[in-house]
Amino acid sequence: MRPSGRQPSDMRTVTFERKVSMKAEGSCLVTFGNTKVLCTASVETSVPGWLRGKGQGWVTAEYGMLPRATGSRNRREATAGKQTGRTQEIQRLIGRSLRAVVDLAALGEAQITLDCDVLEADGGTRTAAISGAYVALVDAVAWMEERKLTKGKVLKDSIAAVSCGIYRGTPVLDLDYLEDVEAETDANFVMTGSGKFVEIQGTAEGAPFDRSELEALMGLAEKGITELSAQQRAVLGQ
């Protein structure tokens, strides 16, 4: 029934490749099927003005998409002179999600910026970005620890994200682009490795949904996140 032939509760093939950037303190190339996102974590030993002198750090994210990551070319945001509302919404979500598992005091007065740049887009770019950015973040924190730049344990848990939706009446896990454009309901779940929710965003694209449908999506999300968390641990050698 799904265009890809997957079962409703099947994730696409997911891969995480660490240390793909020669320069960044942490990096990860993550793929969810044909969606491919390059995540880098950059450590800077200063914090935004409003945090200065407070003895804590910050984690933030920026999101971008190459103009031809999609079926037809999108205008380059640097040329347009601003980020779209969609881009800002996504990068705010990535930043919030990662901060949920970071002890900012333990970072000291340092900032880690996660750049998530979509090389190919086939649905689920924000969930891939969160999942991959976490891997890059772990390596950046390790880099800081090696240099004794942290003050105690920085990471409180792991984090990953997945989308679910109601496609032709059936709840399905990890929507690809063809499913995404047609789904009646689309929901993104960000969860910790320990199985708690950090963010839920559900939107009725077609018909409004009811509580039982939402619960079905939550069940799928829990399954997907469990798999993603296991893969993250594996690639990180934990």
Nearer of residues 84 and 170 to its own copies, judged by Cβ: 84
Nearer of residues 192 and 229 to its own copies, judged by Cβ: 192
- DSSP class of residue 12? P
Output the CA torsion 167→171→176→177 (10° steps). 30
Smallest Cα–Cα separation from 69: which of 109, 111, 123, 17? 123
214 binds its own copies (CB under 8 A): yes
Contacts (Cβ under 8 Å, ≥6 apart) of 170: 1, 8
Supply the minimum distance, in Å, between the C-beta of residue 100 and its own copies. Answer: 6
Contact characters 161-190, its own copies, x per CB under 8 A: --------------------------x---
Question: If DSSP codes are grouped into helix, strand and coil, which group holds residue 175?
Answer: coil
Nearer of residues 174 and 213 to its own copies, judged by Cβ: 213
208 binds its own copies (CB under 8 A): yes
Supply the minimum distance, in Å, between the C-beta of residue 204 and its own copies. Answer: 5
Distances, alpha carbon 96 to alpha carbons 100, 155, 159, 186, 204, in Å: 6, 14, 11, 20, 23
Contact characters 3-42, its own copies, x per CB under 8 A: ------------------xxxx--x------x---x-x-x
Smallest Cα–Cα separation from 154: which of 57, 19, 43? 57
Q: Among residues 28, 104, 130, 198, which is the contact residue for its own copies, using CB under 8 A?
A: 198
Decide if 18 contacts 139 (C-beta within 8 A): yes
Structure-block tokens of residue 16: 């995480």
Q: Among residues 202, 216, 227, 235, which is the contact residue for its own copies, using CB under 8 A?
A: 202
Supply the minimum distance, in Å, between the C-beta of residue 158 and its own copies. Answer: 12
Q: Rounded to whole angstroms, how far apart are CA atoms 7 and 228?
A: 17
Contact characters 105-124, its own copies, x per CB under 8 A: --------x-x-x-xx-x--
Structure-block tokens of residue 156: 């409180």
Question: Strand 58-65 and strand 111-120: pairing?
Answer: parallel
Decide if 143 contacts 26 (C-beta within 8 A): yes
56 binds its own copies (CB under 8 A): no
By CB under 8 A, name the binding residues for its own copies: 21-24, 27, 34, 38, 40, 42, 44, 62, 64, 66-73, 76-83, 85-89, 91-92, 96, 100, 113, 115, 117, 119-120, 122, 157, 187, 191-192, 194-204, 207-211, 214, 218
